[in-house]
């Protein structure tokens, strides 16, 4: 009995320790690159929430495993046990509790961040600007509402919701901007949509390499170089730039 109590103490002690380590890793360390869109906040919140929920679960399993290793080891060879230990009997309360807790967790994350996050990202189809994106081996072409078109950079106005209408000219690619955290497949013969609201100015630089469009679907030899810098500017600057672009075309 004394021994059993100590086994449980080990288990709960390890569980608490691992939870503390996990929470420190999730909350104490800045894991994610800079956010440049409202959508990035939604995605990062979901990511952190899922990590927080998984910490106690993963710690529980690890604590059970470690307790078994540390407390239930036995010697091999002649000094070791000569017969099996007593069988373990089903514990209906434990089983029922496990079923309820894990089902509630699965249902909970399906609702939030699942449905809630999805509706925040694409529940609304209004947008201030529409930009057509055509992906092909190995570049992206952006066409603005006034007909201006470029493959050199993607310029976006700050605090304006943009709908990207994405397609591909040859094979499947994927339109992804790491600093916005969202991406969508570019499929030949289809138009897929993605909404982004950049919420601070910034542009691609060596130490802000995440402000770029990057193909995220392996598409051949030039896949990794299929990237275009992104620049987020004020509305006035954007209007002037896009007017120039159309004139040049
Ligand atoms: Cu590609």
Specify the CATH number for the domain of residue 155. 2.60.40.420
Q: How far is the CA of 121 from the centre of ligand 1 (A)?
A: 24
Classify 208 as helix, strand or coil.
strand
Q: Looking at the structure, do residues 110 and 153 belong to the same domain, yes or no? A: no
Q: Print pLDDT tens along the chain (249 aa).
A: 788 899 999 999 999 999 999 999 999 988 888 999 999 999 999 999 999 999 999 999 999 999 999 998 887 778 878 888 888 888 999 999 999 999 999 999 999 999 999 999 988 889 999 999 999 999 999 999 999 999 999 999 999 999 999 999 999 999 999 999 999 999 999 999 999 999 999 999 988 899 999 999 999 999 999 999 999 999 999 999 999 999 875
Q: Is residue 80 part of a domain?
A: no
Q: How far is the CA of 219 from the centre of ligand 1 (A)?
A: 4
How big is the CA angle at 37 (ends 28 and 213), to the nearest 5 degrees? 105
How big is the CA angle at 206 (ends 219 and 171), to the nearest 5 degrees? 10
Looking at residue 249, its pLDDT comes to: 56
Surrounding residues of ion ligand 1, Cβ less than 5 A: 173, 215, 219, 226
Q: How far is the CA of 188 from the centre of ligand 1 (A)?
A: 12
Q: What is the DSSP-derived secondary structure letter of residue 34?
A: P
Q: What's the total number of domains in the chain?
A: 2
Tell the burial category of 228 from Cβ atoms under 10 Å away from its Cβ (0-12, 13-18, 19+): buried
Q: How far is the CA of 246 from the centre of ligand 1 (A)?
A: 26
Q: The pTM is what? A: 0.85
Q: Is residue 197 part of a domain?
A: yes
d(CA 1, CA 81): 20
Q: Which domain holds residue 105?
A: 2-71+92-122
d(CA 233, CA 241): 10
Q: Looking at the structure, do residues 159 and 58 belong to the same domain, yes or no? A: no
Q: How far is the CA of 175 from the centre of ligand 1 (A)?
A: 8
Q: How far is the CA of 144 from the centre of ligand 1 (A)?
A: 21
Nearest Cα to 171, choosing from 229, 218, 132?
218
Q: Looking at the structure, do residues 12 and 100 belong to the same domain, yes or no? A: yes
Q: How far is the CA of 83 from the centre of ligand 1 (A)?
A: 61
Q: How far is the CA of 224 from the centre of ligand 1 (A)?
A: 8
Looking at residue 77, its pLDDT comes to: 78
Q: Looking at the structure, do residues 143 and 225 belong to the same domain, yes or no? A: yes
Q: Looking at the structure, do residues 107 and 161 belong to the same domain, yes or no? A: no
- List, in order, residues 6 or more apart from 220 with CB less than 8 Å away: 137, 138, 171
Q: Looking at the structure, do residues 244 and 133 belong to the same domain, yes or no? A: yes
Q: Looking at the structure, do residues 176 and 224 belong to the same domain, yes or no? A: yes
Q: How far is the CA of 133 from the centre of ligand 1 (A)?
A: 12
Q: Looking at the structure, do residues 183 and 100 belong to the same domain, yes or no? A: no
Q: How far is the CA of 187 from the centre of ligand 1 (A)?
A: 10
Q: How far is the CA of 176 from the centre of ligand 1 (A)?
A: 10
Nearest Cα to 233, choosing from 195, 194, 204, 193?
204
- Which tokens sit at 132? 């057509």
Q: How far is the CA of 138 from the centre of ligand 1 (A)?
A: 6
**Segments in the chain forming alpha helices (H):** 2-28, 38-71, 92-109, 116-122, 235-248
Q: Looking at the structure, do residues 105 and 138 belong to the same domain, yes or no? A: no
For 19, 163, 174, 175, the CA distances from 155, given in Å and listed in that order, are 44, 13, 19, 15
Looking at residue 113, its pLDDT comes to: 93
Residue 86: CB atoms within 10 A of its CB come to 5
- List, in order, residues 6 or more apart from 91 with CB less than 8 Å away: none
């Amino acid at each position: 009995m004394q021994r059993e109590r100590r086994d449980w103490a080990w288990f709960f002690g390890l569980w608490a320790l691992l939870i503390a380590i996990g929470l420190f890793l999730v909350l104490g360390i800045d894991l994610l690159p800079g956010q440049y869109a409202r959508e990035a906040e939604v995605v990062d919140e979901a990511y952190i929430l899922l990590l927080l929920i998984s910490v106690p679960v993963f710690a529980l399993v690890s604590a059970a495993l470690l307790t078994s290793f540390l407390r239930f080891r036995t010697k091999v060879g002649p000094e070791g046990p000569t017969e099996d230990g007593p069988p373990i009997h089903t514990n209906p309360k434990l089983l029922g509790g496990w079923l309820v807790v894990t089902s509630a967790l699965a249902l909970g994350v399906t609702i939030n961040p699942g449905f809630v996050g999805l509706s925040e990202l694409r529940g609304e189809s209004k947008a201030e600007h529409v930009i057509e994106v055509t992906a092909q081996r190995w570049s992206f072409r952006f066409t603005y509402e006034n007909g201006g078109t470029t493959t050199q950079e993607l310029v976006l106005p700050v605090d304006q919701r943009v709908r990207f209408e994405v397609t591909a000219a040859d094979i499947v690619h994927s339109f992804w901007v790491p600093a916005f955290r969202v991406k969508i497949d570019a499929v030949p013969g289809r138009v897929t949509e993605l909404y982004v609201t950049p919420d601070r100015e910034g542009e691609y630089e060596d130490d802000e390499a995440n402000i770029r469009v990057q193909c995220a679907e392996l598409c051949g030899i030039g896949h990794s170089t299929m990237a275009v810098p992104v620049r987020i500017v004020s509305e006035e600057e954007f209007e002037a730039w896009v007017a120039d672009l159309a004139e040049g075309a």
